[in-house]
Amino acid sequence: MKIEYDAAHDLLNIEFLAKIPIDDSVEMDGVVIDYAKDKRIVAIEVLDASKRTTRKPLDLTNLAIVKSSR
């Protein structure tokens, strides 16, 4: 998974599947969801990200991974 913020274009991109071709994209209220041919979500892009969050959207992202020892 890769998370990038493009300040020049005010885009927040969350990529789940690298190197998978995008077959279809759906835009809903400024959020674009990219799908692979098998309908898996490849990426989510948030347009006008600064209007939807804080000045630094990545500050809100907690990338901590919790593993269970069970």
3-state secondary structure 34-57: EECCCCCEEEEEEECHHHHCCCCH
Q: What is the pLDDT of residues 29-47, one digit of tens each?
A: 999 999 999 999 999 999 9
Hey, where are the domains in the chain? Answer: 2-60
Distance of alpha carbon 62 from its chain centroid, rounded? 14
State the pTM of this model: 0.72
Tokens of 3: 């998370």
- Between CA 70 and CA 51 the distance in angstroms is 41
Residue 67 has pLDDT above 60, yes or no: no
Phi first, then psi: give them for residue 52, nearest 5 degrees. -105, -5
